[in-house]
Amino acid sequence: MRDEFEEIVLSPQAQNVSVEDVLDIVRRALETMRLMNTGVWNQNYSGDAFPSGQAAYGTSSMIHAGLLDTLQTGLTAPANSSARQAAHATLQQINAMMREYDGIGDLRPAGRRRMPAMMRGADGLDLAINRRRRDQLRLALDVFRPAVAEDIPVAAMSRMIVAFGAMAGLHAGFSEDGQTLAQRFAEPEEVLDYLTKAVAKGAVATAAGLANQPLVVPGDPAGSAFLLAISRAEHPMNGALSSYRDAGSGKSGIQVVEDWITSLGAGV
């Protein structure tokens, strides 16, 4: 009820936002999913909004905890720190996934994937935070914008790897030189090293016809399996990478990857 009273008294437009406001809004949006066994509900959710097992409860909880950790640490960190960059990128992703107040009746799979998720109101429609809270999240993107020292492709890639650190656990099944890709997320340079050495693996690569092809061909984005894979709408990270915006250039995650591969140059 507090949200509604504040909107009535103060208007739907937010004039200020604090770290506590952001954490409260995001925590409540995530909680609607965490309170339920999403693995079961995804299989019964009409319209096949989620492939079976895509959002297993344990995986979802791990990611949610990581997102909140990143926000809590980074939003209070100095503007030129990697922690602030990661928090801002996380905020971008959450903002892109949040349902608008007038989207509660969007029953298409894409609409149902938005946050708050899974729980439904008494009228059978999906849930949404009110307009004022939604506006606070948008305002937070400006209030907590990081300062960017370097605007070169490799720096942009490093910023993006830090930003997606909460999802590192999803890559535990891929390894090279005795180290998993999940472990490498602690050091962005290690992830870049993996991308330049490894080949495409797993069910997603196989389905795309890219299995065993080099993830990165220096100077050749069109021949790099990594870029080809994430550019497909079917790829699990396509949505997140498409909505991501680099703090320096404003480019999407997919554009950041393409620029980095191009910058490597043939034979590098």
Do 23 and 123 reside in the same domain of the chain? yes
Among 114, 143, 172, where does a domain finish?
143
Among 75, 110, 143, where does a domain finish?
143
Helix locations, 35-175, DSSP H: 38-44, 57-74, 82-97, 109-112, 131-143, 153-163
- Amino acid identity of residue 73, one-letter, is T
Beta-ladder partners of 126: 120
Do 169 and 116 reside in the same domain of the chain? no
Domains of the chain: total? 2
How would you write the pLDDT of the chain (268 residues) with one tens digit per residue? Answer: 677 878 888 888 888 999 999 999 898 888 766 555 555 555 554 455 445 555 555 667 777 888 889 899 999 999 888 888 888 888 988 888 888 888 887 877 777 777 876 655 555 677 788 889 999 999 999 999 888 767 789 999 999 998 888 788 888 888 888 889 989 998 999 999 999 999 999 888 998 899 999 999 999 999 999 999 999 988 888 888 998 888 888 899 999 999 999 999 854 4
Rounded to whole angstroms, the Cα distance separating 231 from 261 reads 14
Q: What is the pLDDT of residue 223?
A: 95
Q: What is the pLDDT of residue 268?
A: 46
In contact, 258 and 221? CB cutoff 8 Å: yes
User: Could you tell me if residue 94 is inside a domain?
Assistant: yes
Q: What is the pLDDT of residue 34?
A: 55
Specify the 3-state DSSP secondary structure of 173. Answer: coil
Q: Burial level of 35, CB count in 10 A (0-12/13-18/19+)?
A: exposed
Rounded to whole angstroms, the Cα distance separating 144 from 138 reads 11
In contact, 240 and 143? CB cutoff 8 Å: no
Pairing of strands 175-176, 179-180: antiparallel
pTM, entire model? 0.68
The domain containing residue 233 runs over which residues? 153-264
The owner of tokens 């404003």 is 250
Rounded to whole angstroms, the Cα distance separating 51 from 233 reads 14
Give per-residue pLDDT as tens, 77-100: 998 888 888 888 889 888 888 888
Do 137 and 184 reside in the same domain of the chain? no
Do 55 and 133 reside in the same domain of the chain? yes
Q: Which residue, among 44, 70, 206, has the nearest Cα to 146 in the 3D structure?
A: 70
Q: What is the pLDDT of residue 167?
A: 81
Return the half-sphere exposure (C-beta side, CA atoms, 13 A cut-off) of residue 25: 27
Do 176 and 236 reside in the same domain of the chain? yes
Q: What is the pLDDT of residue 86?
A: 84
Give per-residue pLDDT as tens, 215-265: 999 999 999 999 999 999 888 888 889 988 888 888 999 999 999 999 998
In contact, 129 and 86? CB cutoff 8 Å: no
Specify the 3-state DSSP secondary structure of 253. Answer: helix
Among 143, 171, 202, where does a domain finish?
143
Do 242 and 134 reside in the same domain of the chain? no
User: Could you tell me if residue 148 is inside a domain?
Assistant: no
Q: What is the pLDDT of residue 121?
A: 57
